[in-house]
Structure 1
């Protein structure tokens, strides 16, 4: 009996997340109607409050879901790299390029910071930072990078990538801003390369 109830709760949560994701992508956080959203999910406002607390809690869950998918897509792009450094650069290129995706743009890069605050404090961003830290540590260990402070380098690279994506998303012409963002990021990042790796 308990299992069936747990399954129903999990299913309700997924239905709410799915409907909310469509609503937030189409209308933005402010204009998304909770009544329309719950009706589309075939649930009540009570189910929303039970699962997420409030509209902001629901939005935070949607942001975490989309941000997690962004990380997975970036990782997949990085898998094409010939070595650890090129993999990191390909991941970053892919992450910044996702600022052109209307759903990512609206939910994560525009409304996310406006309603949830500093993205560097989001759990999903902290997970990405930890992965970047591990990659930087490995690259420093292999002497591909200069002997920099791993934590500082990871935070600055992650911050630069996030800010590049935020800039592209908010610019008047995101497609024109994208190559400027990725090229400049790569130039900045190359400053970390050990001399023998940048010859």
Structure 2
């Protein structure tokens, strides 16, 4: 029989709260989720919630962090599956916008987190910029895209994708908005390719 240590029990309690809150936030929304209801659902007390997350807002932040980590892993897998680095980058950007239609991401990350937390944390934003910058640096080194300051370009592209995702998620016409955003994204990305650079001397 495996002996459960205190550390194991603490981690299990935290995981149970996260899973229950994620389900509640995803189906009911943050505002309609009662702390008493989901702690009872998890078989825990409010005290456990306060101990691990501080309050309901802290719990939402933890759920968003968990979803963000999963999203990063999914996007990386999409990049890795592409035939080349450019297609990997392009597919990654497109997938990010497509994820804005997933009910859980739409409600928790793009609607409630923005309204309650003011959006992603600075650490999460910096992580996204750093990931995008590494990809752009590699594309520039390989002569695929026009050379520019990769950090500035990463912030511009990342910010554009984030705003487009919010735009898609805020409206009932998300299908139409997604198509419009994907079309606009193609124009933006095609302009970065070396083959689309016009010689000023011509």
Q: Structure 1 length as normaliser, TM-score?
A: 0.92
What is aligned with 1:50?
Answer: 51
Paired residues for 1:141-180 under 5 Å: 141-180=141-180
**1:180–1:91 Cα change, 3 Å:** same
Q: Compare 128-137 and 16-25 and name the one that shifted more.
A: 128-137
Larger radius of gyration: 2
Tell whether the 8 Å contact from 1:38 to 1:44 is kept in structure 2 after alignment: yes
Name the structure with the higher helix share. Answer: 1
Distance 1:130 1:147 in 2: 17
Partner-residue secondary structure (3-state), 1:104: helix
- Work out whether residues 160 and 185 of structure 1, in 8 Å CA contact, stay in contact via their aligned partners in 2: no
CA distance in 1: counterparts of 2:117 and 2:76, whole angstroms? 25
Please name the residue that 1:73 is paired with.
74
Aligned equivalent of 1:11: 12
Gaps of 5+ in 2: none
- Structure 1's consecutive aligned runs of 4 or more residues displaced over 6 angstroms after TM superposition are none
Aligned residues: 195
Once superposed, what is the RMSD of the aligned Cα atoms?
1.7
Task: Say whether residues 1:35 and 2:31 are aligned partners.
Answer: no
Give the superposition deviation at 1:196: 6.5
Find the aligned partners of 2:73 and 2:128 in 1 and give their Cα distance: 10
CA-to-aligned-CA distance 1:29-85 (integer Å, 9 cap, x gap): 111100011001111000000000111100000011112212222222222322111
SS at match of 2:81: coil
Aligned pairs for 1:111-126 (under 5 A) are 111-119=112-120, 121-126=121-126
Q: Is the 8 A contact 2:190 2:196 kept in 1?
A: no
The one-character-per-residue Cα deviations of 1:133-184 (angstroms, maximum 9, x if unpaired) are 1011111122211111110111111111111111111122111111111121
2-structure distance, mates of 1:112, 1:67: 12
Give the superposition deviation at 1:123. Answer: 2.8
Displacement after TM superposition at 1:126 (Å): 2.5
Where do 5+ consecutive residues of structure 1 fail to align?
Answer: none
